[in-house]
Amino acid sequence: MARRAISENRVDDVDALVRERKREMLVPVVNATGVLLHTNLGRAPLGIEVEPSYSNLELSLATGRRGSRQRAVGDTLASACGAEAAMVVNNCAGAVLLTLAALGAGRGVAVSRGEMVEIGGGFRIPDVMRQSGARLVEVGTTNRSRFSDYAQALDDDEDLAMVLKVHRSNYQIIGFTEEVSVAALRQLDVPVVADIGSGLLDAACPWLAGPPPKWLADEPAARQTLRAGADLVLFSGDKLFGGPQAGIIAGRRDLVERCGKHPLARALRPGDLVLQAVQATALAYLDRRGDDIPFWRMVAADVAGLEARAKVICDELGSSDGGPIARPTETEAVPGGGTLPTVTFPSFGLEVSGDVTEQLRAGQPPIVARVDQGATIMDLRTVAPAEDRLLGAALRSLNEVAG
C-alpha cells in the first residue's frame, strides 16, 4: 500500500489505503443477522482450535508406514453416521461429483424431475451429471414421481448405474405432489444414493438435552436414511452437521472405497485442518456434547435468556438526548444456508433507529446486522454471549459520533 500511495501520488492517503485493503481480507465478524448458517459469513461457526503442530495425516502410528488421510476420520464419521465407511471431500457438490464419476461414468443415473435442483452459485444437478460423465435419466414429472416411474427407467435403460435422490434443501413443492421414499427405492436392483444436503446426523438428536426440535420433523438424517436402505448418503459439513466446509460420503464400504480410488478424489480431498475439524465435530456427536457444537448451542438458546441479555446491553448503554440508544425487541431467526427455507425460530435482540449497518460493518470487529422497517436489528441468537460487550461498545461509539 505504501508503494501504491507513492506511485499514485497519494502519500497522505496511505493509512486510508491500508484500511481499505484490510477490509477486503478475511477477518472475524460478529453475526447479528439471526441467520444461523449464513452462507456469506462461512455458514456454521467453528468452535475448534488447533495447536500449531504436525499430525499423523498420512502416517500409520501402528506400523510407521504411510497411511490414508481418510481412514481415521472416515472411521469416526462412519460410527457417527451408522455406516460401514465414510470419507471427506471439499464440499457436498464435490461429494456429488465424485460419487457420480466413480459409480456412474458412462452409464445412466435416474433422478426425479422434481429433484433436479439448483443451489447457490449455479450448481445444477444436470450440469454436474454432465461433468461427471454420467448420463441423466429423468424420472416422473416436476410435482409427481412414482415408484413405477423408476421401475420403468430401469426397464428402459439396461445400463442404469444408480438412483440419485436429491433433497430439495432450499425450496418446497406443495399441493398435488408425490415422491418415492428411500425405503421404496431400495426394492430396485441398483444402488440408491441419497444427497440429504444439510447434514442432519440423527433424527433423534441424542446430543441435545431434550427431544428433537419439531422443526426437524421432515428433515432427512444420515442414520435413518442409511437404515431405510440407502447405499450411500452425501451431505454438507458446514450446515446442520455444524462443522467446517466439507462434503461427506458415508455408507457401503465397497462404494466408498470406489469413490476413494477415483482420480478425482485427490483433486477434491481436504487438508489437515478441515479433517481435524470434521473429526472433532464427529467426536462431539459421539460423546453427546451438543453444547460443544456452536450451531446446536445457538439452536438450544432459550428466548428468555436472549431477552435478558438484550436488556442488560440496553441498560448498560443507557439513553441519549433522543431516547434509548438501543431497545430490546422480539425477532425471528432462521436456519439459513439453503436449509429448511420455511422454518423460523423465536428470538430476541436489539433495535436501533435508522440504518446503521454500514457503520457497524466498519467497526473492529465488523458487526453484520439487518434492517427491518427502517430500524437496525441485531439478533442475539447468532451472537455469542462473549460478544455482547462488542455490540455494546459499537453502539456506544456510534452514539458518541452522532452526538
Q: What φ, ψ does residue 69 adopt, rounded to 5°?
A: -65, -15
Among candidates 105, 124, 108, 128, which has minimal Cα distance to 116? 124
% residues pLDDT > 90 (the chain): 79
- Sequence-separated (6 or more) residues with CB below 8 Å from residue 341: 169, 170, 171, 172
pLDDT at 391: 96
Residue 208 and residue 109 share a domain: yes
Residue 230 and residue 108 share a domain: yes
State the pairing for strand pair 192-197/232-236.
parallel
Helices within 174-231 (DSSP H only): 182-185, 222-228
pLDDT at 121: 65
Residue 149 and residue 283 share a domain: yes
Using only C-alpha atoms, what is the Rg of the chain? 24
As a whole number of angstroms, the distance between CA 77 and CA 197 comes to 16
Distinct helix (H) and strand (E) counts, the chain: 15, 17
User: Residue 64 — very low, low, confident or very high, per pLDDT cuts 50/70/90?
Assistant: very high
Residue 398 and residue 267 share a domain: no
Cell of 64: 510407521
Among 289, 321, 340, where does a domain finish?
A: 289
Is residue 348 included in any domain, yes or no?
Answer: yes
Sheet architecture: strand order including 160-166: 85-89, 247-251, 232-236, 192-197, 160-166, 108-112, 135-139
Q: Say if CB 346 and CB 332 are below 8 A apart.
A: yes
Is residue 263 included in any domain, yes or no?
Answer: yes
Q: State the average pLDDT over residues 104-125.
A: 86
As a whole number of angstroms, the distance between CA 376 and CA 372 comes to 6
Residue 32 and residue 126 share a domain: no
Residue 65: helix, strand or coil by DSSP? coil
- pLDDT(52) > 90: no
Is residue 206 included in any domain, yes or no?
Answer: yes
Residue 265 and residue 314 share a domain: no
Identify the CATH number of the domain in which residue 337 sits: 3.90.1150.180
Is residue 381 included in any domain, yes or no?
Answer: yes
Who wins on pLDDT, 209 or 262?
262
pLDDT at 258: 97
As a whole number of angstroms, the distance between CA 234 and CA 112 comes to 17
Peptide bond into 346 cis (omega under 30): no
Residue 368: helix, strand or coil by DSSP? strand
Residue 75 and residue 193 share a domain: yes
Cell of 355: 440504518
Residue 322 and residue 258 share a domain: no
pLDDT at 403: 59
Who wins on pLDDT, 120 or 101?
101
What are the residues facing 221 on neighbouring strands? 200
Residue 284 and residue 314 share a domain: no
Is residue 249 included in any domain, yes or no?
Answer: yes
Could you tell me the CA-to-CA distances from 162 to 44, 158, 382 in Å, in that order? Answer: 31, 11, 40
pLDDT in tens, 3-27: 999 999 999 999 999 988 888 899 9
Domain that holds residue 279: 71-289
DSSP state letter for 46: P
pLDDT in tens, 282-311: 999 999 999 999 999 999 999 999 999 999
Among candidates 192, 185, 261, 197, which has minimal Cα distance to 234? 197
Cell of 99: 460419487
Residue 107: helix, strand or coil by DSSP? coil
Among 219, 254, 289, where does a domain finish?
A: 289
pLDDT at 30: 97
pLDDT at 342: 85
Is residue 314 included in any domain, yes or no?
Answer: yes
- Sequence-separated (6 or more) residues with CB below 8 Å from residue 225: 182, 194, 196, 233
pLDDT at 120: 66
Q: Say if CB 132 and CB 97 are below 8 A apart.
A: yes
User: Residue 190 — very low, low, confident or very high, per pLDDT cuts 50/70/90?
Assistant: very high
Identify the CATH number of the domain in which residue 264 sits: 3.40.640.10
pLDDT at 339: 85
Cell of 263: 482420480
pLDDT at 323: 75
Instruction: Count the domains in the chain.
Output: 2
Burial class for 293, CB neighbours closer than 10 Å (0-12, 13-18, 19+)? buried
Residue 279 and residue 301 share a domain: no
**Dihedral, CA of residue 119, residue 197, residue 240 and residue 210, to nearest 10:** 130
Cell of 342: 420455511
Element (H, E) at 233: strand 232-236
Residue 307 and residue 348 share a domain: yes
Is residue 57 included in any domain, yes or no?
Answer: no
pTM above 0.85, yes or no: yes
Among 289, 305, 322, where does a domain finish?
A: 289
For the chain, what is the mean pLDDT?
93
Residue 385 and residue 329 share a domain: yes
Is residue 275 included in any domain, yes or no?
Answer: yes
